[in-house]
Structure 1
């Protein structure tokens, strides 16, 4: 079966939401002529892929569809996401860093300091001093803390490892999806955290676990089969249909 186009998907969602093109234009601030063209899969008025993705996101958000999913479908139908540009090829510098010249030792200053030390030592000798530091200062400078003899050895305290928080089995949702044909999937937990977003290819299967609930967005409901909490639910919809499903820990049926 031929895959549903971006424009027809957006148009169907707009009519299902009970919105006219004029109402959608007022909400998204996108010209009505541009919305009509996008619903006919004519993106030539958008001014390029970058602006087309932005318009698709705004329209999808206005009619209740997932913006990222619609942009993903647009990229699949129009040659994929543009290749990223390496920062090293954009930002290049030709300025050379000048290093300060390393200077040699200042022998004049060193000789001056040595001469001053000799003069001070000579004055101390003339005035009857021995030129040695007082015994108290020497003892203080050389003192090193020592451990008294026969001190019992104390072992360091044992740090017990922290046990990880385990989610009760009764609150856990286990969803397994097997793809008969390739289909786009968006899987999120109860807090909205992304568990998976991408294409599950034909013949592949994957399993996700989450507490409280699992929210699914399936691009082609007839291409996959579901198993929730060990119970087979079969295909969640017809071929080419985009569906949303939410599953909890106790009821394997969609809510």
Structure 2
């Protein structure tokens, strides 16, 4: 889970608004909103970003060192001092490859191999004519009896099932959600007010992160799933298309 999602979920679990968090941390509301979206451009650089993240995490009861460590891991780690000699001294000599003329013999061999494969394929595919052998010519000694057709043993093809996933979320209490499709593309990210209902549709898979699992009620592919967790609990769920014959 990203830093922004973790901090937003902790703030919702604490029942604290952005304005209240801003008053306790002395961090502007616009900066807090940006951090919860994993946008650290308003912080003024990595040094100030670490300070803001540490301050918010400590105020929300999280481990500030763990959050700052996650930020360093996701953004290249703590910068190390660089020696001037290492900057101006070349570590290796760049060698230029010699320009070679094209190998026409290899190209001709590849072309002949392609032609040969094409010819073999045409011969094996045949012209569609049926060849009758001597073993198939049997003398007729009496009236011809029509053969009884045998029942087909091939199984019937399964009825195609749609790969569409439909997710409906009803917010009984204010809840923070992040909804994305199978490719990780965000379809929604924000807070659902109490009493609202939203529906999303995606192909193959639907992924959702809920910051207040006990405050929502889920319905997937027209079936009631219920409450996915407890009040203040952050959960991650993924749902696929409806299974064949489930209705």
The interval holding the TM-score normalised by the smaller chain is: 0.3 to 0.5
Highest Rg: 1 or 2?
A: 1
Q: Relative contact order: is structure 1 or structure 2 higher (C-alpha 8 Å, sep ≥ 6)?
A: 2
Q: TM-score, normalization: structure 2?
A: 0.38
